[in-house]
A and B are shown apart, each in its own frame.
Chain A
Amino acid sequence: MSEIAHEAGHGEVTVDPDFGTASDGKVGMWIFLLTDAMSFSGLLLGYGILRSQSHNWPNPAERLGIPSTAVMTFALICSSVSMVLALEAAKERNRKGTIQWLCATIFGGLFFLGGQVREYTNLIHEGHVFSQDQFMSTFYSVTGFHGLHVFTGVTYLIIILIRTLKGHYTNGDYNHIEICGLFWHFVDLVWILVFTFVYLIQ
């Protein structure tokens, strides 16, 4: 598969009997994302177990800002759309469009991270620190692990942007943008679940 997939990244039509046009890198990223999904599953299951066994679990809405987090969620969804539009532009060999949409995606990620820093700062100032109770411990663990993914995703996107500025990826070889996009969409997907389980369920 590797030989064929390598060629696929350089603009030739190559098809694997099992994975079709998916490149080695893309399949590898999917496998990594599966392992990552299991990590998040473990955290969310742990959160659920602690919550179900607690008799005085606080209402998340009393501590967390649901409307401001909804705005952060919206920013992450927007950045997912800009990511697929960057890929579309790369497929059309539109370098300017690819750069613009990648910048928009990075901006969405930075906006989310800024919102998370603001949220943590406010919570800590209000005395809701990591060791306060089980709710805050699990809250910081789950959202902090996700925030680390957003940070990694933004760093990954910046590297892809720099390489695009140098002329890569818009000559028919958009494989790396697609793989980076998989990671970014996964970050969005996980947040959708975290937002529901940690913030919305009361």
Chain B
Amino acid sequence: MATEAAHAHEEKKAPAAVQGAAPSALQGAHGHTSHRAKYLKVFAALVVLTGLELGVVYAGLPKSTLIALLIGLALAKAGAVALWFMHLADERRVLRLMVGFPLLFPPLYACVLIAESFYRSHFM
């Protein structure tokens, strides 16, 4: 693979990725843009969401509401870590799909198991 050709492709195909937050090594050496403010915002969001989780647990909510809220909060936190701390938001679409697509299957499998369990408990 020719580096120059790759450069041309990069500029042509995905300028957003070049301008985005995934800095190259050279940018790191010369004129690296700091992301500290963004990281601290994510950190604050994670702390707030963890506090909310604890609040929800001790709020005495109905079980189904509690489970839905806790799973939603956990997925929001996990998503924030993957997107911003692991820089998935700044990666090319191929890498994002490579990571994201297979992760759809465990929840899908969980849904099948829940449906199967529901069927067995109600219809058998």
- Where the two chains meet, the residues of A that have a C-beta atom closer than 8 Å to any C-beta of B are 1, 3-4, 7-22, 27, 30-31, 33-34, 37-38, 41, 44-45, 48-49, 52-53, 61, 66, 70, 73-74, 77-78, 80-81, 83-85, 88, 90-93, 172-175, 178, 181-182, 185-186, 188-189, 192-193, 195-197, 200-202
Residues of A within 8 A of B87 (CB): 178
Question: A182 with B86: in contact, given A4-B6, A201-B66, A202-B66 (CB under 8 Å)?
Answer: yes
Residues of A within 8 A of B114 (CB): 52
A-B contacts, 27 listed (Cβ < 8 Å): A8-B24, A8-B25, A12-B26, A14-B24, A15-B6, A15-B7, A15-B9, A17-B13, A21-B22, A21-B24, A30-B99, A38-B102, A38-B106, A41-B106, A52-B117, A74-B47, A80-B85, A81-B43, A84-B39, A88-B35, A93-B29, A173-B25, A192-B78, A193-B74, A195-B74, A200-B70, A201-B70
B46 near A92 (CB under 8 angstroms)?
A: no
Residues of A within 8 A of B94 (CB): 18-19
Among B77, B95, B102, B113, the residue within 8 A (CB) of A27 is B95
Instruction: Say what secondary structure dominates the interface of chain A.
Output: helix
Residues of A within 8 A of B74 (CB): 192-193, 195-197
B1 near A45 (CB under 8 angstroms)?
A: no
- Where the two chains meet, the residues of B that have a C-beta atom closer than 8 Å to any C-beta of A are 1, 3, 6-7, 9-10, 13-14, 17-18, 22-29, 32, 34-36, 39-40, 42-43, 46-47, 50, 53-54, 57, 63, 66-67, 70-71, 73-74, 77-78, 81-82, 85-87, 91-92, 94-95, 98-99, 102-103, 106, 109-110, 113-114, 117
B10 near A20 (CB under 8 angstroms)?
A: yes
Minimum C-beta distance from A119 to chain B (A) = 17
Residues of A within 8 A of B102 (CB): 34, 37-38
Minimum C-beta distance from A184 to chain B (A) = 9
Instruction: Say what secondary structure dominates the interface of chain B.
Output: helix
Residues of A within 8 A of B29 (CB): 11, 93, 172
User: Nearest B residue to A23 by beta-carbon distance?
Assistant: B25
Minimum C-beta distance from B102 to chain A (A) = 6
User: Nearest A residue to B11 by beta-carbon distance?
Assistant: A15
Residues of A within 8 A of B106 (CB): 37-38, 41, 44-45
Q: How far is the CA of A12 from the CA of B28 in the complex (A)?
A: 10
Q: How far is the CA of A48 from the CA of B81 in the complex (A)?
A: 24
User: Nearest A residue to B109 by beta-carbon distance?
Assistant: A45
Residues of B within 8 A of A84 (CB): 35, 39, 85
Residues of B within 8 A of A172 (CB): 25-26, 28-29
Residues of B within 8 A of A21 (CB): 22-25
B81 near A192 (CB under 8 angstroms)?
A: yes
The 9 lowest CB-CB distance pairs between A and B, nearest first, are: A41-B106, A91-B28, A196-B74, A172-B29, A15-B10, A20-B92, A13-B26, A81-B43, A18-B94
Residues of A within 8 A of B40 (CB): 81
